[in-house]
Structure 1
Amino acid sequence: MIKRWWRAAALTAVAAVALVYLAGLARLGEAEAEQLRAVPVLAADPGTELAALRAAAPVTGDDPAAALDAALADPAAAARLVAAVPTADSGELGAALAALAAADGGLDPVAVGEFFAGLGPERTAWLSVLYPTVIGGMPGAPFEARTAANRLVLTAAATASTAYAGPERPWTGDTARPARAELEDLVGSGREFLHLDPYSNAGGGSWIEVVGDLDTARNVAVIVPGGSAFLTSQNFEIYHDRAQSFVDAAGDGLAVVVWAAASWPSGWIQEAWASWSQVAARSLAAFTLDLRAQLGDGVAITLAGHSYGGAVVGTAETYDLEADRILHIASAGMGSDVYAPADYTEPCRPRYSMTAPGDPISYVQGLPYVPLLGHGADPDDFPGMRRLATGNLSDAPGAVDDTGLSLHDLGIAGKPVEGVHSHSEVFYPESDAWRNLLAVMTGEDPELTAEQAPADPDCA
């Protein structure tokens, strides 16, 4: 009986691993199959067509900002706008928008930006109201239009979450479900999203959030979260608060973008597989091209990945991307199949790594190569890497962790950043580790560890 039980358990485990592996292959195949499509070119002025679309919309007004406010105040109108789908029936503009939406990200974001630049700011603003689902999720569309569109997406999703799914029942006729808390809390909050999909990741959601002002920032950091990067996870608020702590310290000179716009793993078993990072990396690399095009060359971009996010950042570096410096924070690795700087498109790009002593992530860094398993080389030993010191937590009277709890009440004020909890402690405000991360993001000189990775002889 015992032998049969163990045999059944072993077969079940092997089958589960095989299914995860095959799912990873399918996910990777989807990413490799993507080909950039041509961005439509409008042959005629779309003014007449746009006027007809505005006339048929559930909100009216001569000003797109006023129309947006009216839709936000009317959940039914917001829902109709979010459900609107452009078609060729309205004319050339509708057909172009339908083609852009059908490409599902398989577009050059810079070329998409040029398409909207040709339309001009006012017409683009109107499209963000008329077709918020299309514009809010469109890489390359102007950031201002995307944040406006995603306000409507958010309002409609929060309202929709109060309805009961399925046929009406006697107990649901005159009642409403509580709204999804993570959505309801965001409505009217003023937070800005360049991407917001409440239904991806099996309902967990995905997002790109801007913390700070991209218009005034001289430095912009893109932070890619670790595992379980879902709207429904605590990580959604935790990474926002971490980003806010850096922006508050740096002032208008820094903006932080939290990038979690992909399918994401959850738990150590899923996070051991490289397929999620391989698929997300392509989208992340494209986002940096979009970011550079919209920010211009005068803004320094830091691309940072924490934990599993480090593997996403590392794999993204195997594509063409825009970043002035790379920051691995307790990173799972340098990216799938990456074991030397020559595996990157820009081997000599400045790179920084921080892993505290005793951080459990060290057990998975630099594992031997196995297809689809693991995340490449150990960041701390990677040639040319600058290793950042982690130092101590703050012992100031008001010192808190990254959720606002008092370090003195927790009994950890002033202690070295090390051990199991150091994986998150590197983000505790005013700690030595946090200051070093901020220094990299703002282009200042951080404190390095005494022992450094070997230099890359091919980089001067």
Structure 2
Amino acid sequence: MRIGRRWKRVLIGAFAGCAVLVDAGAAAAQAAASTEQLAISTPPAGSAAWVQDHSFGRTLPDPATTSPAAAAEFFASLAPTELDRLIKDYPLVVGNYDGAPLDLRYRANKIALTAERDRALARSTDQKLDSETRDLAVSRANDVAHLLAPDRQILAFDPRGRGLITEVWGDLADAERISVIVPGSDADLGHFDQSAEPLRGPAGMARALFAEEQRQDPGTRTAVIAWTGYVTPSGLGPDAVTSRLADVAAPRLQRLLAGLHETTRPDAPPALLCHSYGSVVCGNAAPEIPRAAASPSDTSGVTDMMVFGSPGMGVQSTSELGSGVHVWATRNPSDWIGNVPYLEVGGLGHGADPTSSGFGSEQISSARSSGHNGYFAEGTDSLHNFAAISLGRYQDVVRQTSGS
């Protein structure tokens, strides 16, 4: 259905207005200040110089076109001295290269983060810059400094724009079960790890899930990935009601999973936990996930996909997502997202409610969770269920009942 530009603006206002009315205050301020975001779809900084570097006596594989499988083969062919040189000369390329060895990526990202911290600190004292720019530089330096702690495992880092960051909890290389958290709006470098309200940030969600997995099954080796690997909507503006950013994000998520297929060996495909707008990304990526995520030891190739606080997945039912995913869905009664229109008109909106009876998802309880960001709170059915599903302990999942 095609609609005119005027009506598209009206519908955008209606979608955003519904969200604002039911979540007034901070969300309303966000909506008023929000602007459309520039999606990042190109390879990381340094890629142009990388492909033009012939000093290794071979052509370096183009990050824009090389598959994770081919990347894994390339990195395996290099000597330790060559690997050291690559991460020194091209830390942003190596640190973001799906298919590269995990330890190599961790090392490269330490170098890239250190360089970004130093760059931000230099800008923070540059008197040629205005005070607002210097203040933003201080904030960026602080955000990056936290990620340089010795115990943090940074799988990807891209300083462009608001900043993209992906972190790992647990031993990813040795994990029997892997979970990937796909966050929604406002997730970026500056909001990745939030001390005041930890569960609003992807890092806090990942910590809570990893701890719950260990509590439920301490004998299983698990790893949790907080993937802020795409440009998310800012606030409740136009980006939140279209799939534009999700369209760009989906191939990046598929590539992450393809890279994990080359560098990890879990007993089952990585489970995906898709929050809010992240469920739009997951829905968009779903048809290609079986190829990307299935592991050699897994015969079904089915990926568990948990969607919560979802505005829709861009489809009317799970039948449109392909046979490679098993969708579990939940939304607590106090989550404002339930008041957003579940429809799609002229590219606006994200389709049917994943928690509705006709959608085809398996509905799970989120009892004792509260609001849009409370699903990982300790003692909630949602956190319990997320861990149980991630672990493959399906018999322990608490299903949805009236009021839960």
The TM-score, its normalising length taken from structure 2, stands at 0.75
2:235 & 2:342 partners in 1: Cα distance?
Answer: 19
Aligned equivalent of 1:303: 272
1:119-150 Cα shifts (integer Å, max 9, x gaps):
25664344223321221122222221111100
- The equivalent residue for 1:424 is 373
Find the residue that maps to 2:306 and give its secondary structure.
strand
Residue 225 of structure 1, CA deviation: 0.8
- Distance of aligned partners of 1:378 and 1:107 in 2 relative to their CA distance in 1, 3 Å threshold: farther
* Distance change in 2, residues 1:83/1:221 (3 Å): closer
> Which of these residues, 246, 260, 265, is aligned with residue 233 of structure 2?
265
> Aligned partners of 2:379 and 2:156: how far apart in 1?
30
**Matching residue's letter, 1:153:** A
- Residue number among 152, 159, 162 corresponding to 1:191 in the alignment: 152
Question: Deviation per CA, 1:397-446, whole angstroms, max 9, x where unpaired?
Answer: xxxxxxxxxxxxxxxxxxxx3xxx42222210122221112111111131
SS of the equivalent of 1:350 reads strand
Q: Is the 8 A contact 2:276 2:309 kept in 1?
A: yes
Label 1:306 to 1:235 Cα distance change in 2 as closer, same or farther (>3 A). Answer: farther
1:374 pairs with one of 333, 349, 359: 349
Distance 1:377 1:155 in 2: 44
For 1:341, give the aligned amino acid.
T
Kindly provide the CA deviation profile for residues 268-305 of structure 1, in whole angstroms up to 9, marking residues without a partner as x.
12211210111101110121111122213634410111
Q: Which residue of 2 aligns with 1:47?
A: none
Could you say what the CA RMSD is over the residues aligned between the two structures, in angstroms?
3.7
Instruction: Tell me which residue corresponds to 2:337.
Output: 361
> Is 1:217–1:299's contact at 8 Å kept on the other side of the alignment?
no
1:220-235 superposed matches below 5 A: 220-233=178-191
**Residues 146 and 194 in structure 1, CA contact (< 8 A), matched pair in contact too:** yes
8 Å CA contact 1:211, 1:240 repeated in 2: no
Once the two structures are aligned, what percentage of the paired residues are identical? 26
Separation (CA, whole Å) in 2 of partners of 1:333 and 1:383? 10
- String of CA shifts for 1:61-101, please: whole Å, max 9, x gaps: xxxxxxxxxxxxxxxxxxxxx899436464355x633x524
CA distance in 2, matches of 1:121, 1:332: 47
Report if the CA contact (8 A) 2:96-2:157 is conserved. Answer: yes
> How many residues of Structure 1 are paired with residues of Structure 2 in the alignment?
346
1:206 to 164, 176, 195: 164
Partner of 2:361: 385
Q: Specify the alignment match of 1:46 in structure 2.
A: none
- CA shift, 1:310, in A, is 1.0
Give matches, 1:127-166, under 5 Å: 127-164=86-123
For 1:332, give the aligned amino acid: P
Q: Provide the rounded CA distance (Å) in 2 between the counterparts of 1:310 and 1:293.
A: 25
Indicate the residue corresponding to 2:177 in structure 1.
Answer: 219
Residues 333 and 365 of structure 1 are in contact (CA less than 8 Å); yes or no, is this contact kept in structure 2?
no
| 8 Å contact kept, 1:84–1:130 | no
Distance in structure 1 (CA, Å) of the matches to 2:157 and 2:117: 12
> 5+ residue gaps in structure 1?
1-9, 18-22, 37-81, 393-416, 452-460
**SS of 2:154 mapped into structure 1:** strand
TM-aligned CA deviation for residue 261 of structure 1: 1.1
In structure 1, distance between residues paired with 2:304 and 2:330: 14
User: What is the identity, as a one-letter code, of the residue corresponding to 1:329?
Assistant: F
1:96 is aligned to 2:73: no
Matches within 5 A, 1:21-420: 85-86=49-50, 88=52, 90-93=54-57, 96-97=59-60, 99-101=61-63, 103=64, 106-119=65-78, 123-164=82-123, 178=138, 180-198=141-159, 200=160, 202=161, 204-233=162-191, 238-251=201-214, 253-269=221-237, 270-296=239-265, 298-320=267-289, 321-322=292-293, 324-334=303-313, 336=314, 338-344=315-321, 346-347=322-323, 349-364=325-340, 366-367=342-343, 369-381=344-356, 383-392=359-368, 417=369
Query: Are 2:92 and 2:158, in contact at CA under 8 Å, matched by a contact in 1?
Result: no
Structure 2 vs 1, CA of residues 248 and 126 (structure 1 numbering), >3 Å: closer, same or farther?
farther
Tell me by how many angstroms 1:187 deviates. Answer: 2.3
Residues 194 and 171 of structure 1, relative CA distance in 2, 3 Å threshold: closer
SS of the residue aligned with 1:268?
A: coil
Answer whether contact 1:158 1:183 (CA < 8 A) is retained. Answer: yes
Q: Distance in 1 between matches of 2:241 and 2:276?
A: 11
The answer to whether residue 401 in structure 2 is matched with residue 450 in structure 1 is yes
Q: Pick closer, same or farther for the CA change 1:256–1:112 going to 2, 3 Å.
A: same
Query: Which residue number corresponds to residue 20 of structure 2?
Result: none
Range that drifts further, 266-275 or 378-387: 378-387
CA 1:190–1:365: 2 relative to 1, 3 Å: farther
Structure 1 length-normalised TM: 0.66
Alpha-carbon distance between aligned partners in 1 of 2:340 and 2:305, rounded to the nearest angstrom: 20
Equivalent pair of 1:223/1:303 in contact (CA under 8 Å):
yes
Structure 2 unaligned residues grouped into runs of 5+:
1-5, 14-34, 215-219, 294-301
Structure 2 vs 1, CA of residues 225 and 138 (structure 1 numbering), >3 Å: closer, same or farther? same
> Structure 1 residues 376 and 117, CA, compared in 2 at 3 Å: closer, same or farther?
farther
1:204-258 deviation digits (Å, cap 9, x = unpaired): 2011111111133211100011101111126666321221122123236221101
The answer to whether the Cα contact below 8 Å between 1:341 and 1:348 also exists between their aligned partners in 2 is no
Q: Which residue of 1 aligns with 2:383?
A: 434
Question: Alignment partner of 2:310: what SS?
Answer: coil
